[in-house]
Amino acid sequence: MKRAGTMPTAPDILWIVTTQWRAGALGHAGDVNARTPGLDAFAAGATDYAQAVTPHPFGPFARAALLTGRLSPENGVRDYWDALPADARTVAHRLSERGYATAFFGKWGVGERDRSAPLVGEAAARVVVPPGRRGGFGWWTGFEGGFLLNDPWLQGDGVGDGTAPTRVAGYQSDVVTDLAAAWWGGTARGRAAPPRFALVSLEAPHPPYAAPTPAGVVRPDPIELVLAANVPRGGEVEARARRELVGYYAHIEATDGAIARLMAAAGHETIVVFTSVHGDMHGAHGLFRKGWPHDECVRVPFLVRGAPGGGRGERSDAAVSLCDLPAMTEAWSEGRAWDGAPACAEISMPCVVDLPDQCDRVWRGWRSARGKKIWTDDGHEWSLGETGPIAGDGAVKPAPHG
């Protein structure tokens, strides 16, 4: 029992951020293909922000907004190749000023990269993120990119000499969450005393979808997968969607297990957030990958357990964006419920990313629980062809095989 006049202890806060995990790709959200027992159990005790969105459905833009609470390009990331400015003020700076031990683990994704180098593979995974460009986190163990879902190259605190990348054996989600759990529990060197804030950033379930998963994860039969009704049937779009979704759901299952173990290590007194930087079209409307304004890309899972004002198993239709998460976290650190949800969330693609399958135009707009409006860069409204009470509700609707 606290003595009268003493200040309550600031809560521990943990963000778990995945990549390309669609809002509907969870068992509790109705996806019959998704084997997510860990996150389903977590959702039963959390607030589900069921209409949450990414402000920008592409990695660097979304990550910069998530870290700073500012939209791109105002946060300094205007182009796919832009790095987060060295002087950018992040959530780590703000919480450090409140007495928090701060830590980052996993994919950084907003560092300096070589435009001439491949985006996938060892060269990309070994790109060095200098200590002065790590967002103000007190402890930083991560990698810039590379999409090596197995045996990642890590750099920073607790690995090798702290600067040169070191390869660590294992499935990436397991490796990263195990390192985070060790820091959290104080079994790794470095300050991990409460109050603690950690951002755990995972590449899965991002491609390559054919990458191996841990033993015990059985890939589903592509013919048995239930596709959304807006995936065209009978041609290459359906065939590709089934082929890729086999790996997508396998990596979801494997990463669900890693996340569940980390959540258990964090304990029930910790405020825990689970989300993703964006989704993936997976054949919806005949499209693939990201950057598109459709809900398959824009909507993200957003589950929060233990925050002031939150409830167990509650659903919220607030227009929450990843860009709101730093302000939400600051409020929680002070023991306050966050009450800043706008009537609608701004969404945009600041530039065209010249990579296969990605969105082919610049656009901006907004989304709420009741509707969505999108305009192209020349000011014309973009009709997306989405149907339902809210454009693209993200639910998996069974449809016959082609």
pLDDT tens-digit series, residues 241-283: 999 999 999 999 999 999 999 999 999 999 999 999 999 999 9
CA nearest 37: which of 24, 25, 46, 28? 28
User: Is-cis flag, bond preceding 131, omega within 30?
Assistant: no
Cα–Cα distance, 205 to 18 (Å, whole number): 7
What's the confidence (pLDDT) of residue 190? 60
| Rounded (to 5) percent helix, strand, coil in the chain | 25, 15, 60
Q: How far is CA 279 from CA 102, 320, 334, in A?
A: 27, 16, 31
What's the confidence (pLDDT) of residue 9? 84
- DSSP strand E in 191-244: where? 196-201
- What band does 396 get if pLDDT is binned at 50, 70 and 90? very low
Both tokens of residue 38?
A: 């860990």
Structural domains of the chain, with CATH: 13-376 (3.40.720.10)
What's the confidence (pLDDT) of residue 383? 92
Confirm whether pTM is higher than 0.75.
yes
Question: Using alpha carbons only, what angle is made at residue 98 by residues 96 and 100, rounded to the nearest 5 degrees?
Answer: 50
- Over residues 201-238, the pLDDT tens digits come to 999 999 999 999 999 999 999 999 999 999 999 999 99
Cα–Cα distance, 326 to 2 (Å, whole number): 29
- What band does 114 get if pLDDT is binned at 50, 70 and 90? confident
Both tokens of residue 20?
A: 């390309």
- Over residues 15-47, the pLDDT tens digits come to 999 999 999 999 999 999 999 999 999 999 999
What's the confidence (pLDDT) of residue 8? 61
- What band does 61 get if pLDDT is binned at 50, 70 and 90? very high
Phi, psi dihedrals of residue 227, rounded to the nearest 5°: -95, 155
Neighbours of 315 (CB within 10 A): 11
What's the confidence (pLDDT) of residue 341? 86
> Per-residue DSSP letters for 116-167?
TS-SBSHHHHT----GGGSTT-SEEEEE--B--SBS-EEEETTSTTSSS-EE
Cα–Cα distance, 154 to 124 (Å, whole number): 12
- Over residues 336-365, the pLDDT tens digits come to 999 988 889 999 999 999 999 999 999 999
What's the confidence (pLDDT) of residue 310? 86
The amino acid occupying position 31 is D
Kindly tell me if the per-residue pLDDT of 400 is higher than 50: no
